[in-house]
Chain A
Amino acid sequence: MTMTPEEEEQFKKARRGRNIALALVLAAFVALFYAITIVKMLD
């Protein structure tokens, strides 16, 4: 199927938003596991 330029722009915008959200979630998860590891090591 073909997309009009407007649909393509909408598609790209949604994908960019999803990618940024996923990056933030992964970064937060890494930070959380780092903090948990430090706490467990100090315990």
Chain B
Amino acid sequence: MTATVQTDTRTAPLPAEWRDFFALTKPRVMSLVVFTGLCGLLAAPGSIHPVLGFAAVLCIALGAGGAGALNMWWEADLDAKMKRTAGRPLPQGRLRPTDARDFGIALSVASVGTMGLAVNWLAAAILAVSILYYAVVYTIWLKPRTPQNIVIGGGAGAFPPLIGWVAVTGDITLMPVLLFAVIFMWTPPHFWALALFVRSDYAKAGIPMMPVVAGEAATRRQILLYSVALLAVSLAPWWIGGTGAIYGLTALVLSALFVALSLPVAFRQAGEGDRMRPEKRLFSYSVLYLFALFTALVVDRMLLP
């Protein structure tokens, strides 16, 4: 005789594993968020107890994870249409949408509450704003409506160093705002380089990415414009005397290389069957750029008085 159990599987066709919940937090994005948040914390003047510093970075990570889960909950139908995202837990039917939503809300509330209780309420408030910015302003409002979605939505990813800094100082000054501005200016060329070589996917999902709406030539020009703006903004912390020469010279070299890699992307047209090498190179370099720039910021703070 075959043993069977009576179970209602109509709402959950496949059993969700813990890995599916973990995948909702967008771990790869989170690694960049944790890194820039930690750098903001380490570069800030003053000090914080290691336990509280750890709690602050953990809260930034949990908040980003919560926002990522809410993003995946809202965009499950769009994700199903794109090759890059079709394997996510929700399009695959491994999770119930309401579970993903509740998980996102729980992570967000826990991260903001813990940040407020353990560190300070200004950092908690900025964390709450960053989560709402990503989950509501970017995901629900801007992404499906405007090709400028990446520009304005990039603000969400720019919050971590600001939060890390405020976790230590308890107030907002020009320096953490400039760190915010660096990531804000970095995001458009980073994502548009990606959007250029996964363009067909975004078009299929109906997302008005810049290459889809404004065309490839306009996107390429804007990549260069933002790279030049990034060069100026990345040097601003040095100009205002907020950092030393280690950061300043590193930023100069890294940002000049960013502009140099943007030039071939800006002044070419991709033909049929193009392998998009300059775009892929710029995208890969942009990730390295952010890690290197923020590392230089911390090293500068550690080595110089």
Residues on the A chain within 8 Å of B15, using CB: 10-11, 13-15
Q: Give A11 to B49 CA distance when docked, in angstroms.
A: 43
Number of A-B residue pairs at CB separation under 8 A: 55
A39 & B51 in contact (Cβ 8 Å cutoff): yes
Q: Does A32 make an interface contact (CB < 8 A)? A: yes
> Known contacts A2-B5, A5-B2, A14-B16: does B10 contact A36 (CB below 8 Å)?
no
A18 & B17 in contact (Cβ 8 Å cutoff): yes
A8 & B5 in contact (Cβ 8 Å cutoff): yes
- The residue in chain A whose Cβ has the minimal distance to the Cβ of B49 is A39
A1-43 contacts to B (CB < 8 Å): 1-5, 8, 10-11, 13-15, 17-18, 20-22, 32-33, 35-36, 39-40, 43
- The residue in chain B whose Cβ has the minimal distance to the Cβ of A15 is B15
Q: Does B8 make an interface contact (CB < 8 A)? A: yes
Q: Give A11 to B5 CA distance when docked, in angstroms.
A: 11
Chain B residues within 8 Å of A, Cβ to Cβ = 2-10, 15-18, 21, 49, 51-52, 55, 58, 114, 117-118
Chain A residues within 8 Å of B, Cβ to Cβ = 1-5, 8, 10-11, 13-15, 17-18, 20-22, 32-33, 35-36, 39-40, 43
In the complex, 23 of the A-B residue pairs with CB atoms within 8 angstroms, ordered by the A residue number, are A1-B6, A1-B7, A1-B9, A2-B4, A2-B5, A3-B4, A3-B7, A4-B4, A5-B4, A8-B3, A8-B4, A8-B5, A8-B7, A10-B15, A15-B15, A17-B17, A17-B18, A18-B17, A18-B18, A18-B21, A35-B51, A36-B51, A39-B52
